[in-house]
Amino acid sequence: MHLPGLELPAYAVAGSPAQAVIYGVIVLASRRPQLGDLRHQSGENLGTSVTASGTVGAALQAAEFGILGLALSLETTKAYHYEYGSEADWSGQCTSRAISLKLS
């Protein structure tokens, strides 16, 4: 992945979000992650179907490894799925706060 001033490795897993967490923790991570920050959700997670969510499932899988899992989702129209907006700033703030709470 190329970002201005950065070159980062990127990986894909042909599986569920929870399987991606397993692969990332067991195969890719050189150390135990502090946080599983799971944001790839194009719809909200509400009601009784929340446990069927891939985003929530990945957070639960992270918790099985003793890793704090943060699942964030937002209901938007398809045109905005790949946009950067205030919700990204808000989710970054949630991530920072979650890490600070876990480490304190």
Q: Which of 80, 69, 84 is nearest to 38 (CA)?
A: 69
The pTM score is 0.68
Least confident of 12-21, 58-67, 77-86: 77-86
User: What tens digit of pLDDT does each residue of 31-41 get?
Assistant: 888 777 666 55
pLDDT (average), residues 41-69: 78
- For residue 15, pLDDT beyond 90: no
